[in-house]
């Protein structure tokens, strides 16, 4: 089946040409003696005009039929400026119905009110919508740009196995039973972390991979059980050299895909700074509502609510400029809930009216504290100030960070085609997990501590900072990376601190630590979530819109109905018995 042009191609300069086109019927309009059909393919739409000699066949044609037509390009009387081909139409001289279509469960158009599960069930039709095709094309351009950039810098793309041993990235593993090795399981990789480090030990020096990763965790709008990341590892590079490499990568991606000029170098914030100011380790710095430290003002507060925290705790305030009259009691209750949901112990507020507070805060502050707050926070008529406090600095920062995001969601609209990019560095190597009663790795256990902090590993691990860097864009963590430990004893020590016994270290990582004995080069790397990058650059609402065949929020594919039951025969071969709950 030959076509001379695609459906997005014909222009005024093609008038009088005889052309042949193929595509799907997007719309049919019957105007008595003339029938107009918009023919669609990946490239666009072309308007076809059928005269009455085609009546019998045009009566049969319905939406989503596949047509092959021949015709003559003519100038339209009234051009349609919304369409690339809007200045011409094609007077049809021949038509062949290549295939018919049933009525589709939703209309194939950019705007849709179909439920997401219906779109996922008929994903092949959803992907016929031009906006979805555009998303996948943008995603392709992103990976192409990544590959070009890294290839120019001598990086090589190497695949690592999917059926493998557990790699700890903080989630549960997806396990695959082995038929041949009864009772044993492969783990799908949470990332290629161990393999890319082993490739450095092999001397490959500059590796990358567009890698599939699998993490069994509760889904959110920016998470999927299987997802893709650009995974990079290098030997002999310093932290700042790796960061420069990454900045060049994003300069190229934004230029190639969006024609956007990213200003370099990117800003660098320490973990302490972003938490103090934005209450998040992945802040969008454009939103306003910054957290302000007012601990000093409250150091001697005597109120029942605050006195326990007053001397040693952290007090954080957020000012809503001119918003007092926009926030009802009900709004404030909802904001309080948000703060509590995110680990805060309380939220109180004061509205500014006639140079004094009204609201819950009046009962908690003395006249002197009130006037100090007014001058420190530059409070004016109709401002609202929110206050929370906690003995844990981190907890109050996180809780107020959640409040900041919620206020911004209600009151700030950001330009999605602009990019707020920054680095966060100086993370702690460990976080204390109260439930488990042990330290866990902030990044992962292969992250190298700062040399000058190694002395705290035995005495106070919470003081050890890590060579760990996160790249943040528009409030999303785009990627994380670190310099790695390359010394066997240090690697064992870190495993011990996160609570692994000698036996567990040997069983889970014996092969990995053993490799460290054979001339391990200093190395480091980073990985970026491709789905998130595509989400931001396509300005989509969810990462499901930039993945061809995603799962829904229950980790189910409504189209194939995976996951599904296995047959008794398969289970027997896999030596698995299912117990009914």
* Shortest distance, position 381 Cβ to ligand ASP, whole Å: 47
Q: Which is nearer to ligand ASP, 481 or 550 (CB)?
A: 481
Q: CB neighbours (10 Å) of residue 464?
A: 22
Q: Which is nearer to ligand ASP, 275 or 526 (CB)?
A: 526
* Shortest distance, position 233 Cβ to ligand ASP, whole Å: 7
In the window 131-170, what residues touch ligand ASP (CB under 6 A)? 169
- According to CB under 6 A, which one of 46, 58, 138, 191 is a site residue for ligand ASP? 191
241 vs 248: CA distance, rounded Å: 11
Burial class (CB in 10 A: 0-12, 13-18, 19+), 460: exposed
Tokens 């990376």 map to which residue?
481
502 vs 383: CA distance, rounded Å: 58
Q: How far is CA 355 from CA 150, 199, 352, 361, 370, in A?
A: 59, 65, 6, 14, 10
Q: What are the strands of the beta sheet with 348-353, ordered from one edge?
A: 292-293, 314-320, 384-390, 348-353, 356-358
Q: Which is nearer to ligand ASP, 132 or 466 (CB)?
A: 466
- According to CB under 6 A, which one of 135, 145, 480, 491 is a site residue for ligand ASP? 480
Please identify, among the stretches 173-181, 336-344, 358-366, 480-488, the one whose residues bind ligand ASP according to the rule CB under 6 A.
480-488
* Shortest distance, position 373 Cβ to ligand ASP, whole Å: 41
Does residue 193 belong to the site contacting ligand ASP (CB under 6 A)? yes
289 vs 297: CA distance, rounded Å: 20
In the window 407-466, what residues touch ligand ASP (CB under 6 A)? none
Per-residue x/- marks for ligand ASP, 505-544, CB under 6 A?
A: --------------------xxx-----------------
Per-residue x/- marks for ligand ASP, 163-182, CB under 6 A?
A: ------x-------------
Q: CB neighbours (10 Å) of residue 198?
A: 18
Pick the closest to residue 54 from 41, 42, 73, 67 (CA basis).
67
Count of residues of this chain found to bind ligand ASP when the rule CB under 6 A is applied:
9
Does residue 497 belong to the site contacting ligand ASP (CB under 6 A)? no
3-state secondary structure 420-475: CEEEEECCECEEEECCCCEEEECCCCCECECHHHCCHHHHCHHHCEECEEEEEECC
Does residue 189 belong to the site contacting ligand ASP (CB under 6 A)? no
Q: Which is nearer to ligand ASP, 218 or 541 (CB)?
A: 218
Q: Which is nearer to ligand ASP, 287 or 526 (CB)?
A: 526
* Shortest distance, position 498 Cβ to ligand ASP, whole Å: 16
Pick the closest to residue 22 from 32, 8, 33, 36 (CA basis).
8
* Shortest distance, position 484 Cβ to ligand ASP, whole Å: 8
Q: Which is nearer to ligand ASP, 295 or 480 (CB)?
A: 480
155 vs 160: CA distance, rounded Å: 15
Q: Which is nearer to ligand ASP, 25 or 526 (CB)?
A: 526
Give the DSSP per-residue string, 480-513: EEEEB---HHHHHHHHHHTT--HHHHHHHHHHHH
* Shortest distance, position 188 Cβ to ligand ASP, whole Å: 13
Helices (H) and strands (E) in the chain — how many of each?
Answer: 17, 22
What residues make contact with ligand ASP under the rule CB under 6 A? 169, 191, 193, 480-482, 525-527
């Amino acid at each position: 089946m030959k076509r001379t042009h695609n459906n997005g191609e014909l222009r005024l300069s093609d008038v009088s040409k005889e052309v042949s086109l193929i595509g799907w019927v997007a719309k049919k309009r019957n105007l008595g003696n003339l029938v107009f059909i918009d023919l669609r393919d990946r490239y666009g739409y072309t308007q076809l005009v059928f005269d009455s000699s085609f009546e019998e066949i045009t009566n049969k044609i319905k939406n989503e039929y596949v047509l092959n037509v021949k015709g003559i390009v003519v100038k339209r009387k009234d051009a349609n400026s919304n369409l690339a081909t809007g200045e011409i139409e094609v007077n049809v001289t021949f038509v062949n119905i290549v295939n018919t279509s049933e009525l589709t469960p939703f209309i194939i158009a950019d705007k849709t009110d179909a439920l997401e599960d219906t779109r996922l069930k008929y994903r092949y039709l959803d992907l016929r919508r031009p906006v979805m095709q555009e998303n996948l094309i943008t995603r392709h351009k992103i990976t192409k740009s990544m590959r070009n950039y890294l290839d120019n810098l001598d990086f090589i793309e190497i695949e690592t196995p999917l059926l493998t041993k557990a790699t700890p990235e903080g989630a549960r593993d997806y396990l695959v039973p082995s038929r041949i090795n009864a009772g044993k399981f492969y783990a799908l990789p949470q990332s290629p972390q161990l393999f890319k480090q082993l490739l450095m030990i092999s001397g490959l020096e500059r590796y990358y991979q567009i890698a599939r990763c699998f993490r069994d965790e509760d889904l959110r709008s920016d998470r999927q059980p299987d997802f893709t990341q650009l995974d990079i590892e290098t030997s002999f590079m310093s932290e700042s050299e790796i960061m420069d490499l990454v900045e060049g990568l994003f300069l190229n991606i934004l230029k190639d895909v969006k024609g956007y000029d990213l200003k370099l170098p990117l800003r660098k914030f320490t973990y302490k700074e972003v938490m103090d100011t934005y209450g998040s380790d992945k802040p969008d710095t454009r939103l306003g509502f910054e957290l302000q430290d007012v601990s000093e003002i409250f150091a001697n507060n005597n109120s029942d609510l605050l006195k326990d925290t007053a001397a040693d705790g952290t007090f954080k305030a957020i000012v809503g400029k001119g918003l007092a009259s926009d926030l009802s009691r009900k709004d404030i209750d909802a904001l309080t809930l948000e703060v509590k949901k995110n680990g805060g112990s309380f939220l109180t507020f004061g509205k500014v009216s006639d140079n004094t507070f009204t609201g819950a805060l009046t009962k908690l502050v003395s006249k002197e504290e009130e006037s100090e707050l007014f001058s420190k926070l530059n409070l004016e008529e109709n401002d609202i100030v929110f206050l929370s406090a906690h003995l844990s600095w981190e907890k109050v920062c996180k809780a107020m960070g959640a409040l900041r995001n919620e206020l911004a969601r209600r009151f700030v609209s950001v330009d999605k085609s602009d990019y707020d990019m920054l680095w966060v560095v100086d993370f702690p190597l460990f976080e204390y997990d109260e439930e488990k009663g042990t330290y866990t790795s902030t990044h992962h256990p292969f992250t190298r501590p700062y040399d000058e902090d190694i002395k705290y590993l035995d005495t106070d691990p919470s003081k050890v900072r890590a060579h760990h860097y996160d790249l943040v864009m528009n409030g999303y963590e785009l990627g994380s990376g670190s310099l790695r430990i390359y010394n066997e004893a240090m690697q064992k020590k870190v495993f011990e601190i996160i609570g692994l016994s000698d036996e567990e270290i040997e069983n889970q990582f014996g092969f990995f630590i053993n490799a460290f004995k054979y001339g391990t080069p200093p190395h480091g790397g980073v990985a970026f979530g491709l789905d998130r990058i595509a989400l931001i650059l396509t300005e989509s609402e969810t990462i499901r819109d930039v993945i061809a065949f995603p799962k829904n929020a229950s980790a189910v594919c409504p189209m194939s109905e995976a996951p599904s039951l296995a047959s008794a025969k398969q289970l027997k071969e896999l030596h698995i018995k299912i117990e009914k709950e």
